[in-house]
Structure 1
Amino acid sequence: MSVPQTPPPPADDGARPDRRALVRTQNRRAIAAAAAELIRAKGADQLRVDEIAEQAGVSRRTVFNHFSSIEEAAYAQLHDDFDSLIEGFRLEVGGRQEDMTAEVTQAFGDFILEAEPLRIVQGILETAVQLGQHQSLDTWGWQAMEHIIGSFAELVSEAYPEADPVRVRILCTVLVESAAIALEACAERPHSLEDLRARVVDALTFLSSSHFSFQHSSNRN
């Protein structure tokens, strides 16, 4: 007589990814990316929600399930772009606090002058220009700067655990805001990656004359 086989235990639901949450995240990213891309191409005032939905491959209702406006969707993409910059930044340093200013400034310059970070910055600038007539841009811009400076400061504090947090914050604020001010000059006219790179080099070189240490190499890809 055959022995009945015991059925396997049910899979642990907690170990399985939440498919609905995954789809929701994918839809949000697709909508945000579509909004920013279309705004760069034709401007926010001429853009319709149906166009964003079509490009993102979702319904009009799904767009509004994630965002209350076209501008909010574009800001979400810009926020993600800033996060990708922070995630790509690496600090390979000795961790001595007396070397922090010079090492972090050099690492920041080396990173932001690379082609891929510059392309991300170029996309952010082009989107922001198209949103320039919307009052919400100022509020978003301030929030975005606070977010990226705070995230940058966390990375530096981890690399230099003995450093004064106030000095870390000042250093990160000066570097990020100096680059932002330099790049803002490119926002109102057509600009290439070389234009962006030259502006950042000028800003960081100026900082190096004010007790910052940054050495620019002309051999960039």
Structure 2
Amino acid sequence: MPTPPPSGPEAETAAPSRRELNKAATRQAITEAALGLLRSSGPGNFTVEDIAEEASISRRTFFNYFSSTEAVIASVTHGFLDTALQQFRLRPADEPILESARAALVELADPMTVAPLAELYSLGQSNPQLNRSELEAWDHCTAEIIDAARVRFAQAAGIEIDELYLRALAGSVISCGKAAMDVWFARCGGALTPDSLSTLRQLLIDSMSLLGSGFASPAAAPAADPTAAPSPDRS
């Protein structure tokens, strides 16, 4: 009888296969090529063929990973969220959900984690077309947050949560993320230095703290210590 695939913690810790690593490397090469062309040529001024040439792959290989140039650019935002959601799913199932969201961002200790997201946001500020694509990518991410929250509540309480609650929760998380990006750009002007990226990371963490506390105080508060325990969630 064939051995069943690992499940539970064993599956979570299983090392990726060589094929998976190669696929991830190709996907990353495509993304980096698209970002390079975006910087040099601007949105709408390069094609799938251009990206494929920069990434040293065939046009056919490109379409094995992405459906369009816009999909590649959107994947930058999706990639950051995927990384954060991976950390979120490792949190205890009985932990308040917004506390888990903040703790997941704290776990992304390397400020460079937010660099591609920050760069794409900055480029979008001077280009309406790219800005629209970025907003669409954030909206798409809402569905992934809803799914992650639905699974969490099912694990913790074994009940089906009201759809309005899930959508309001996900929308609030996305709005707080956008607010953090706006404040970062106003403060740092889109600089991609280590200090600037550290500021962005902290603003994202602080936005989840504000949401988790129910915006208890309108007064300006000092930045939270990224090593401190997450704030209590009142939801």
Q: How does 1:124-139 map to 2 (within 5 A)?
A: 124-131=117-124, 132-134=127-129, 135-139=132-136
Q: How does 1:202-221 map to 2 (within 5 A)?
A: 202-207=206-211, 208=213, 210=215, 216-219=224-227
Shift in Å, 1:196: 1.0
Q: 1:46 to 1:22 in 2, by over 3 A?
A: same
Aligned to 1:105: 98
Aligned to 1:76: 75
| Contact map agreement 2:29 2:55 (CA 8 A) in 1 | yes
Identical pairs, percent: 24
Aligned to 1:4: none
| Contact map agreement 1:35 1:74 (CA 8 A) in 2 | yes
Q: TM (normalized to structure 2)?
A: 0.60
**Distance (Å, rounded) in 1 between the aligned partners of 2:58 and 2:210:** 50
Equivalences, count: 195
Q: Counterpart of 2:100 in structure 1: which amino acid? A: A
Q: 1:157 to 1:57 in 2, by over 3 A?
A: same
| Contact map agreement 2:34 2:51 (CA 8 A) in 1 | yes
Gaps of 5+ in 1: 1-19
| Contact map agreement 2:52 2:59 (CA 8 A) in 1 | yes
2:138 paired with 1:141 = yes
Q: How does 1:8-87 map to 2 (within 5 A)?
A: 27-28=26-27, 30-40=29-39, 43-45=42-44, 47=46, 49=48, 51-60=50-59, 62-63=61-62, 67=66, 69-87=68-86
Q: Counterpart of 1:174 in structure 2: which amino acid? A: S
| Contact map agreement 1:109 1:204 (CA 8 A) in 2 | yes
**Distance (Å, rounded) in 1 between the aligned partners of 2:110 and 2:135:** 23
Gaps of 5+ in 2: 1-18, 218-222, 229-235
**Distance (Å, rounded) in 2 between the aligned partners of 1:139 and 1:183:** 15
Shift in Å, 1:165: 0.9
Q: 1:163 to 1:173 in 2, by over 3 A?
A: farther
Larger radius of gyration: 1
**Distance (Å, rounded) in 1 between the aligned partners of 2:106 and 2:76:** 22
Q: TM (normalized to structure 1)?
A: 0.63
Shift in Å, 1:58: 0.8
User: Which of 140, 144, 153 does residue 157 from structure 1 map onto?
Assistant: 153
Q: 1:117 to 1:90 in 2, by over 3 A?
A: farther
Aligned to 1:197: 201
| Contact map agreement 2:30 2:55 (CA 8 A) in 1 | yes
2:116 paired with 1:123 = yes
Shift in Å, 1:108: 1.5
Tell me the alpha carbon deviations over residues 158-197 of structure 1, each in whole angstroms, 9 at most, x when there is no partner: 4323456134554444334323322233246224222213
Tell me the alpha carbon deviations over residues 100-150 of structure 1, each in whole angstroms, 9 at most, x when there is no partner: 5xx322222122134457533331231244344314444333223x22322
Aligned to 2:231: none
Q: Counterpart of 1:142 in structure 2: which amino acid? A: D
| Contact map agreement 2:30 2:62 (CA 8 A) in 1 | yes
3-state SS of the aligned residue for 1:113?
helix
